[in-house]
Structure 1
Amino acid sequence: MIEIVTLCANASRGAVALECEWLGGKGGGAPVIVFLAEGTIDPLGDWPARLVRALGLRGLVCGLSGGAPVRDQARDILPALFDARDIDSRMWIVGYREGGTIALLYAAEHPGGLAGAIVIAPRMFSQSPHAGHLLGVRAAFDPANLRERFACHAPHHEWTIEGELHGLRCPVLAIRDFPDDDGSAAAHIDLLKSHAHGADRLETHTHQGTAEFPPLDPMIRFISAHSPLSR
């Protein structure tokens, strides 16, 4: 059942209302997988429930606060939500697109407090309407210098989380979106690989357009291999 969780206002923001839904029940000692959706939780469909069932874990699907900067959501809104729902720090976080960006930022802020993170088509930096064309020639450059190479084409409001990626310590699985006609999805994954050297383990998976999206099998294998319950 979907519930609305209201986070009280603090010194930097007003009250925030988020959509949340528990999968597999609220109680029990099993670890929690937190799924980060953009806006409402509906776009995620039923795959979070299928992933939770396959692993025998609990899940909490969260609709993110639309319009709030990704750093504010990672540093303020998510911790407040986890406190409000008494979620253990050794959770897994799974995020899609902007949710993946926020998952990475949260993981970097709490280097010892996560079991692991899975990010699906994450965004390491913003893209202007012409960024896809520019990123199509990414193979000619060192991925570690992507942001600098394209800086002259970027408007001032663009952002990157490149600096925060060095703080990652937990296992991370990054799933690349498909189709990827302009090369932009791969560029984001390349930047992650170039700066997440501190992660306990970093794996990447390229989705094939004819297969299920998001692909559950690599997620099941990754969580099973790194869950404290499997050791």
Structure 2
Amino acid sequence: MTHAFVDIAWQGQRVPIEHAWVGRPRAERAAPLIVFLHEGLGSVSMWRDFPARLCEAVGARGLVYSRPGYGRSGTLVPEPAWTPAFMHEQAHAVLPALFGALDIDTTDDRPWLFGHSDGGSIALLYAARLPGRIAGAVVLAPHILVEDLSVASIGQARVAFETTDLRQRLAKHHADVDRAFRRWNDIWLDPAFRGWSIEDHLGAIRCPLLAVQGLDDEYGTLAQIRGIAARVPGTRLLELPDCRHSPHRDQPDAVIAAVRDLLSMPIAAAP
């Protein structure tokens, strides 16, 4: 992937966002556009070759980007403290600002969102807020509420960051690895976050939706994707054995096959 930067307008500042295009040429409008939203510690580079592989398999254009403060993207200066609404801010402000900066008209060129973990939650929030500006969504190991398992595993990640080579491994993917890790880790372990939920938002989703969960996911249970299906009629579920928190790494072929089937569905006109 060839990485580039574009400035978005966010909270009165210009913030540079790292991004890359993969798959079919961007101008090939007959091909669907898939936008990849990374997990809580992710970045453009941490997707590795999966976005290109998926886009090649389904004949899509792909946009991969690092959220502010991740990968090589900038962030607000000074950066305000994160709140439990940080994913809402990414879905409702940052992602639309990125589309605007890249001249993507989401009323005419409606994207598919492919989100992993926190990125999956952001995709759901975008789909609920802007139903006429999305073609569909694929969410891998999304969070719709906070589970004890999630908090315990995120606490273990903090210990690993401080005592193992996890910091060095993540530093290959983030310009400021300490900031990237601490912001994510601190808010998830903040007692104020325990009551976080997006369950009440899900009923507004109208687009085709595929929700994927590994049966061995260390950060969430099947309650997450089954909770989505209970609130969004027609949701397709994919529950994968021998799969942890990253289905696109542990079971890429199964994920690609399910996405190909989803994209073959006819897309309803925007409401």
Q: Residue 258 of structure 2 corresponds to which residue in structure 1?
A: 218
How far 1:71 sits from its partner (Å)? Answer: 0.2
Match of 2:208 among 163, 171, 183: 171
AA of the residue aligned to 2:34: I
Give yes or no for contact 1:32–1:87 (8 Å, CA) kept in 2.
no
Q: Which runs of 5+ in 2 are unaligned?
A: 70-81, 154-189, 244-249
Q: Which of 62-71 and 98-107 deviates more?
A: 62-71
Provide closer, same or farther for how the CA distance between residues 8 and 103 of structure 1 changes in structure 2, counting only shifts above 3 A: same
Q: 5 Å matches for 1:36-185?
A: 36-38=37-39, 39-66=42-69, 69-89=86-106, 90-128=110-148, 155-158=191-194, 159-180=196-217, 184-185=220-221
How far 1:65 sits from its partner (Å)? Answer: 2.7
CA offset digits 1:184-209 (Å, max 9, x no partner): 32011122122224xxx310001232
Provide the TM-score with structure 2 as the length reference: 0.67
Q: Percent of pairs identical after alignment?
A: 34
Q: Residue 157 of structure 2 corresponds to which residue in structure 1?
A: none
AA of the residue aligned to 2:228: L
How far 1:132 sits from its partner (Å)? Answer: 6.5
Provide closer, same or farther for how the CA distance between residues 7 and 121 of structure 1 changes in structure 2, counting only shifts above 3 A: same
What CA distance in whole angstroms lies between the structure 1 residues aligned with 2:150 and 2:122?
24
SS at match of 1:225: coil
AA of the residue aligned to 1:17: P
SS at match of 2:126: helix
What CA distance in whole angstroms lies between the structure 1 residues aligned with 2:132 and 2:150?
38
Give yes or no for contact 1:65–1:73 (8 Å, CA) kept in 2.
no
Q: Which of 218-227 and 74-83 deviates more?
A: 218-227
Give yes or no for contact 1:34–1:93 (8 Å, CA) kept in 2.
yes
Q: Does 1:31 align with 2:67?
A: no
AA of the residue aligned to 2:8: L
Provide closer, same or farther for how the CA distance between residues 6 and 224 of structure 1 changes in structure 2, counting only shifts above 3 A: same
CA offset digits 1:160-193 (Å, max 9, x no partner): 11111111000100011241368x3201112212
What CA distance in whole angstroms lies between the structure 1 residues aligned with 2:149 and 2:213?
20
Provide closer, same or farther for how the CA distance between residues 10 and 57 of structure 1 changes in structure 2, counting only shifts above 3 A: same
Provide closer, same or farther for how the CA distance between residues 124 and 167 of structure 1 changes in structure 2, counting only shifts above 3 A: same
Between the two proteins, the alignment pairs up a number of residues equal to 202
Give yes or no for contact 1:7–1:15 (8 Å, CA) kept in 2.
yes
Aligned residues: CA RMSD: 2.6
Q: Which structure's relative contact order is higher, taking Cα pairs within 8 Å and 6+ residues apart?
A: 2
SS at match of 1:8: strand
CA offset digits 1:87-122 (Å, max 9, x no partner): 242111100001100000001011122110000000
AA of the residue aligned to 1:22: W
Give yes or no for contact 1:33–1:92 (8 Å, CA) kept in 2.
yes
Q: Which of 39-48 and 70-79 deviates more?
A: 39-48
AA of the residue aligned to 2:11: N
Give yes or no for contact 1:103–1:119 (8 Å, CA) kept in 2.
yes
Give yes or no for contact 2:5–2:17 (8 Å, CA) kept in 1.
yes
What CA distance in whole angstroms lies between the structure 1 residues aligned with 2:7 and 2:218?
40
Provide closer, same or farther for how the CA distance between residues 109 and 175 of structure 1 changes in structure 2, counting only shifts above 3 A: same
What CA distance in whole angstroms lies between the structure 1 residues aligned with 2:49 and 2:64?
11
